[in-house]
């Protein structure tokens, strides 16, 4: 599906998008600076990115789709894992029978198409799109994950056991924490919290107990961002679960005095 340089030049000129002398000048500049001719054409504002993508779609015989204002169903969105979507600029947006339509910026990325095909066990139908469309769809992963997390919180926190506190450092206190760490709701909450942080690209997670809730913040690109709030009843269970996953001792007296935990 590669477009030859002469083919691109011919179509640009015949379509009236650019004059031949201006194309040749941009080509000379691209070769001199070891740049992509398409990037130079766009930088010189001789051809818009949208027109260039539409023209490439026409040459390749691949339909162009604009998803800048489209809302994608969560079950379709999740067919392509978010890390793959972000790394390769490819998103799923429509499914009909055994066909999955994906929008992408690079029609030559056959390796990613094959990966999605094997993962989804569907026939992949590629479509070309623009960066704005990819950006819009990628933002919906976050919305979908937040909705998923909200549902888990709503469903699971009501099942968390309200275990009476025993004196810190006692055998009973450690047994209580062990029990909390193994609760299914706590396991689901912590697993989802970690998944959410990874997909956000967080370097660390801050769990800060407040008077009536637990504040969770992520450090992303060196800056702390409020991520979510959790019911205060989940505090000790979350801390215990994290300690189990980290192979740390469960005795609660080892926690900082303010109760804050950093992962």
**Could you tell me if residue 46 is inside a domain?**
yes
**Could you tell me if residue 116 is inside a domain?**
yes
Same structural domain for residues 81 and 55? Answer: no
Distance (Å, whole) CA 122 – CA 89: 19
Whether pTM exceeds 0.85: no
User: Do β-strands 90-96 and 261-262 pair in parallel, antiparallel, or remain unpaired?
Assistant: unpaired
**Could you tell me if residue 194 is inside a domain?**
yes
Q: Residue 84 in contact with residue 102, Cβ under 8 Å?
A: no
What is the reported pLDDT for 176?
64
- The tally of domains found in the chain comes to 3
**Could you tell me if residue 145 is inside a domain?**
no
Q: Annotate 157-191 with b (16+ C-beta within 10 A) or e (fewer).
A: beebeeeeeeeeeeeebbebbeebbebebbbbbbe
More confident residue, 33 or 195: 33
Cα separations in angstroms, 171 against 93, 167, 225 = 54, 9, 37
Q: Which domain holds residue 27?
A: 5-60
More confident residue, 209 or 164: 209
What is the reported pLDDT for 257?
46
CATH label of the domain that carries residue 178? 3.30.450.90
More confident residue, 261 or 188: 188
Q: Residue 82 in contact with residue 74, Cβ under 8 Å?
A: no
What is the reported pLDDT for 95?
95
Q: What is the mean pLDDT of the chain?
A: 81
**Could you tell me if residue 200 is inside a domain?**
yes
Distance (Å, whole) CA 64 – CA 49: 13
Same structural domain for residues 41 and 119? Answer: no
pLDDT band at 215 (very low <50, low <70, confident <90, very high): confident
Same structural domain for residues 55 and 82? Answer: no
Same structural domain for residues 28 and 83? Answer: no
Distance (Å, whole) CA 179 – CA 9: 69
**Could you tell me if residue 66 is inside a domain?**
no
Domain final residue pick, 60, 90, 105: 60
Same structural domain for residues 29 and 83? Answer: no
Distance (Å, whole) CA 130 – CA 155: 38
Same structural domain for residues 123 and 84? Answer: yes
**38-84 tens-digit pLDDT:** 999 999 999 988 899 999 888 988 999 999 999 999 889 989 988 78
Q: Between the CA atoms of 72, 75, 77 and 82, what dihedral angle is there, to the nearest 10 degrees?
A: 150
Same structural domain for residues 54 and 116? Answer: no
CATH label of the domain that carries residue 120? 3.30.300.160
What is the reported pLDDT for 260?
56
Helix residue ranges, H only, the chain: 5-14, 20-32, 37-43, 49-60, 74-77, 82-88, 110-120, 131-156, 171-181, 184-200, 235-245
**2-28 tens-digit pLDDT:** 688 899 999 999 989 999 999 999 999
Q: Helix (H, G, I), strand (E, B), or coil: what is residue 109? A: coil
Q: Output the CA torsion sign for 119, 120, 126, 132.
A: negative
Distance (Å, whole) CA 240 – CA 180: 7
Answer whether residue 36 shows pLDDT above 70. yes
**Could you tell me if residue 238 is inside a domain?**
yes
Same structural domain for residues 54 and 81? Answer: no
Q: Output the CA torsion sign for 248, 251, 252, 254.
A: negative
**Could you tell me if residue 110 is inside a domain?**
yes
Same structural domain for residues 168 and 113? Answer: no
pLDDT band at 167 (very low <50, low <70, confident <90, very high): very low
Same structural domain for residues 40 and 78? Answer: no
């Amino acid at each position: 599906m590669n477009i030859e340089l002469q083919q691109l030049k011919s179509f640009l000129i015949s379509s009236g998008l650019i004059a031949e002398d201006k194309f040749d000048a941009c080509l000379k500049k691209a070769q001199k600076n070891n740049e992509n001719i398409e990037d130079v054409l766009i930088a010189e504002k001789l051809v818009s990115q949208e027109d260039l993508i539409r023209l490439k779609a026409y040459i390749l015989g691949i339909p162009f789709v604009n998803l800048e204002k489209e809302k994608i169903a969560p079950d379709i969105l999740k067919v392509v894992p978010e890390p793959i979507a972000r790394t390769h600029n490819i998103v799923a947006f429509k499914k009909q029978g055994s066909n999955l339509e994906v929008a992408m910026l690079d029609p030559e990325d056959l390796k990613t198409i094959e990966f999605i095909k094997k993962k989804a066990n569907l026939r992949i139908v590629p479509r070309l799109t623009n960066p704005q469309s990819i950006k819009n769809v990628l933002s919906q992963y976050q919305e979908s994950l937040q909705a998923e997390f909200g549902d888990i919180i709503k469903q699971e926190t009501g099942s968390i056991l309200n275990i009476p506190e025993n004196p810190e450092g006692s055998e009973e206190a450690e047994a209580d924490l062990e029990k909390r760490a193994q609760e299914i709701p706590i396991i689901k909450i912590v697993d989802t919290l970690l998944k959410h942080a990874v997909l956000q690209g967080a370097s660390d997670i801050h769990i800060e107990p407040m008077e009536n809730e637990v504040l969770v913040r992520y450090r992303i690109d060196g800056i702390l961002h409020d991520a979510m709030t959790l019911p205060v009843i989940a505090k000790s269970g979350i801390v215990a679960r994290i300690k189990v996953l980290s192979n740390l001792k469960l005795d609660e007296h080892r926690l900082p005095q303010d109760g804050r935990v950093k992962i």
